[in-house]
Copies of this chain bind each other. A is one copy, B any other.
């Protein structure tokens, strides 16, 4: 497994990451890490590798777009001095274009999205031991759905940035795709965006797979 002894992993994103984490920093007692995929990642890492003392910190904030990440990057990423960082952003960048079509100032279009993500990666990568870029996703199997198609374009942008900088890459849309062959979207999320525990397990497994997690270890 790639994350080493006493290393710190910060996971940043939007409401899918947030899941009621504590403020100002999502870590510590009483499930301050939140009840979503970050909690699952931390629980599986800590129960499987208790000897490593890995510190997982949840910095997701509900409603955020990449524009919001940029504004809080200094305090919420750089100041925490992570060894590892994961970023999963873009849901709201796309969603507002579809659920609030007339409120255009709330939309973050593809150019701004990709450029902002790229600049954040460029500025941060030198300080990291590892960076995991995760695509946003839309729990909708129909690739012709307008919002799904747009989300795929943002996911492709994440992939381009990951490849350009050589970071780890997690295709969460593909991970959901495998499940959606058997389960209807509504079984995972009523609004096709905020997953229940099954959906969070999908995300967590995709992330853990990327960092070389071995489930059976120590059993």
**B183, A50: Cβ atoms closer than 8 Å:** yes
Of the candidates B54, B147, B202, the one whose C-beta lies within 8 Å of that of A47 is B202
Residues of B within 8 A of A191 (CB): 186, 190-191
Whether A39 sits at the interface, judged by CB under 8 Å, is yes
Given the interface pairs A103-B27, A196-B31, the reply to whether A179 lies near B47 with Cβ below 8 Å is yes
What's the nearest-Cβ distance from chain B to residue A218, in Å? Answer: 6
Residues of B within 8 A of A106 (CB): 28
- Interface, chain A (partner B; CB < 8 A): 6, 8, 27-31, 33, 35, 39-40, 42-44, 46-48, 50-51, 53-55, 95, 98-103, 106, 142, 144-147, 175, 178-179, 181-184, 186-187, 190-191, 196-202, 205-206, 209, 215-216, 218-219
Residues of B within 8 A of A44 (CB): 201, 205
**A47, B95: Cβ atoms closer than 8 Å:** no
A184 closest partner in B (C-beta): B98
- Alpha-carbon distance between A136 and B11 when the two chains are bound, in angstroms: 34
Q: Please, could you name 24 A-B residue pairs with CB atoms under 8 Å apart, sorted by A?
A: A8-B102, A27-B103, A28-B106, A29-B99, A40-B40, A40-B201, A43-B200, A44-B201, A47-B202, A50-B178, A50-B181, A53-B182, A54-B102, A95-B186, A98-B186, A99-B186, A99-B190, A101-B184, A142-B144, A142-B145, A146-B184, A205-B215, A205-B219, A209-B216
- Alpha-carbon distance between A95 and B184 when the two chains are bound, in angstroms: 10
What's the nearest-Cβ distance from chain B to residue A129, in Å? Answer: 16
- Alpha-carbon distance between A25 and B184 when the two chains are bound, in angstroms: 22
**B197, A40: Cβ atoms closer than 8 Å:** yes
In this complex, the member of A40, A43, A95, A178 whose beta carbon has the largest number of chain B beta carbons within 10 angstroms is: A43
Residues of B within 8 A of A200 (CB): 43
Of the candidates B51, B102, B142, the one whose C-beta lies within 8 Å of that of A6 is B102
